[in-house]
Amino acid sequence: MNKSKQLDSYSILIICKYFKTPEDFINIICVCKKFNETLKKLRFNPISIITKKLFPLIQTQYLYFPTDERIPTIEFYCYDCKITFSRFFFTSNKQKTKFKCVEYTLNDRMKFGNKIPKLIKSLGKGLFADSNFEKIIPSSPPHCSVCNKLHNIVPNSGINENPQLNHSRSKNILLNLQLDFLEDNINELTDQQKEENKKFLQIPNYIQSIGSECFLNCSSLTFIKLSNTITELGNGAFKNCAKVSHLILSTNITSLPPTLCYGCHSLSQISFPPYLVSIGDNAFAQCTNLVSLQLPQTITSIGSFAFCGCSSLRSVNIPSINKINPYTFSECFSLYQISIPSTVTAIDTCAFKKCTSLTQIGLCSSLVKFGDSCFYQCHYRLFKDYILPERCFINYN
């Protein structure tokens, strides 16, 4: 009979990284004698601490929350959390401190001005909210943008870091954001290039995420192309950009957040990521100029109201989802034909409410649930030609 394998002292050190409380560490050294010295072998603290009592021989203190206090007798420090630039600026002994993510906040901007320090990895939510931008100058090569007069967002080359952009509700004053380039380079541009730069915002390739409402109400923005290094978009990132007509998303995005392009009335073309898994609630609601959709078959979830009010939408290929959520395609007045895939088992409440042109639906045997008012005020032929529960056509809301 084989003896069961037992944990050795080395394996316990690895397991300790996943403990959450001081009690977890105390319990492990009480298991058996060979684990008694475990806490003395650790050279950093796996959890937040206020003294060295639990881990007496650590050389580096990890600070997991901005509120964690540094223990003076420790040699090195590592902030494993997002901290503000003000906190960084007033931190003593920087040479022995590592900062994984320094964020430039609105409070930092009020203290230190518009010039963004090179070490910044994240631009805080609402950092430039309600500002009046005339130009945004990102990393080399320098380019300028206008938010109330912004025409294009295109990717740029750069290094692989992770600052978040957030300059929503932007309008008209000159703002120079110097993100790792020589200011003298601007003088080398021709007058024509300078004029062109006023129409463009280049997002450098080291940007991996765009914050919530980052470009909210950029009323002159017409074209968006995101670098493939971007993996995350915040809620409402392009909300109410009324003149955006083209949206080319990063191929490495797998989830689109709620209200991403809500109220983008001119949006007519969307290039979806090939491995997209989910679309959030209201993501493309009220995109009244959207005529057709080619959704990737990798999608498994489409949120409620996702395409609500897309009044020009005529056709859509519904991917292999399990159900059509409430109000997903409601008030798509031009939608005349849909085919329900065999994976769909339920059409939820008001899913196609007020799709007044809808005359043909491809039903499948897997459908077992029809929500109230799911076809309310659809074309009369739907009621005439298909045998569906009466509640599908009655308004309950």
The pLDDT tens digits for 81-133 are 988 989 999 887 788 999 988 877 778 878 988 666 777 777 677 666 554 44
- Nearest-angstrom CA–CA distance, 371 and 304: 13
DSSP strand E in 157-249: where?
164-165, 200-204, 209-210, 223-225, 232-233, 246-248
DSSP 257: P
Q: Are 51 and 34 in contact (CB under 8 A)?
A: no
Does the residue 28 lie in any domain? yes
Range of the domain at 67: 8-74
Does the residue 243 lie in any domain? no
Listing DSSP states for 281-331 in one string gives: TTTTTT-TT--EE---TT--EE-TTTTTT-TT--EE---S-SEE-TTTTTT
Reference 135, options 71, 201, 80, 179; nearest CA is 201
Sign of CA dihedral 364, 370, 373, 374: negative
- Report how far apart the first and last C-alpha atoms of the chain are (Å, whole number): 68
Does the residue 335 lie in any domain? no
Residue with tokens 């059509």: 324
Q: Are 316 and 338 in contact (CB under 8 A)?
A: yes
Q: Name the β-bridge partners of 122.
A: 103
Does the residue 236 lie in any domain? no
Q: How many domains are there within the chain?
A: 1
User: What values do phi and psi take at 29, rounded to 5?
Assistant: -75, -10
Cβ burial 305-330 (10 Å sphere, 16+ → b, else e): bbbbbbbbbbebebbebebbbbbbbb
- pLDDT confidence of residue 241: 84
- pLDDT confidence of residue 153: 52
- State the DSSP H helix or E strand holding residue 337, giving kind and residue range, or none if neither: strand 337-339
- State the DSSP H helix or E strand holding residue 40, giving kind and residue range, or none if neither: helix 38-41
Q: What is the pTM of this model?
A: 0.67
- pLDDT confidence of residue 117: 73
- pLDDT confidence of residue 176: 37
Identity of residue 106 = L
Residue with tokens 């009621």: 383
C-alpha to C-alpha distances, 19 to 23, 28, 32, 52, nearest whole angstrom: 9, 10, 18, 17
- pLDDT confidence of residue 278: 97
Does the residue 47 lie in any domain? yes
Does the residue 291 lie in any domain? no
Does the residue 272 lie in any domain? no
Strands of the sheet containing 369-370, edge to edge, are 323-324, 346-347, 369-370
Does the residue 54 lie in any domain? yes
pLDDT along the chain (397 residues), means of 10: 69 89 90 87 93 94 94 93 90 87 80 75 68 38 46 49 45 36 43 52 67 80 80 87 87 96 94 96 97 93 97 91 96 92 93 93 86 91 82 83
